[in-house]
Amino acid sequence: MSSGKPVRLGILLSGRGSNFLAIAGAIREGRLEGVEIAVVIANVAEAPGLAAARDLGLKHEIFVSKGRKRAEHDADVLACLRAHRVDLVCLAGYMRLLSPEFVAAFPNRILNIHPSLLPAFPGLDAQEQAFDYGVKVAGCTVHLVDEHLDHGVIVLQRAIPVLETDDSHSLALRILDEEHVAYADAIARVASGEYEVRGRRFVKRKVSIN
């Protein structure tokens, strides 16, 4: 994806946006280079993440999804992303399934983070699902978004042990810490242009030697 120009991110969120803030922090601190946040979009007017974007001086928009047809709402969001010349879309607690038309508009250029080691425990309350199942290892996954829930090609995963002292809440908090590292690392990989999708794998591009 890298062409010498900064990769422009479009952040979509519905709530507090802790992963958005982690991404913004990584950019500000120089840990995520060659990337800039072009726009932050919320589908909930009261989303705290939107207020955080405003405080950071970032461009931000609201497109309330409640009560609207999916196609109409997605069309508005897509138009906004295009107007801000977004290269890579990052879902940061965006509690809404994207339509096939949305996914097709940004092929292999939409990232999502999920608080489990996919394909285990997709959907809501993944940390609680994992804890209740009794797993010994949990973690998070950054993946490309396709038309199916928590299904796209895996870019990066981070794993942690489940401690005997854990409950579902403490486990969720420790996974969240890993999310904040994983998302920035995954964005760096995608933005570098050094990786490609090969089947179900996200791998380093082969370098041809003439």
Annotated catalytic sites, by residue?
Answer: 114
Largest CA distance in the chain: 58
- CB proximity list for 78: less than 8 A, separation 6 or greater: 102, 105
Helix (H, G, I), strand (E, B) or coil at 122: coil
Helix/strand number for the chain, H first, E second: 6, 9
Residue with token string 């041809």: 208
Pairing of strands 35-42, 60-62: parallel
Residue 174, amino acid? R
Integer Cα distance of 24 and 81 in angstroms: 18
Q: At what angle do helices 168-192 and 18-28 cross, to 10 degrees?
A: 50
Nearest to 140 by CA among 103, 181, 89, 107: 181
Kindly state the tokens that stand for 67: 């009560």
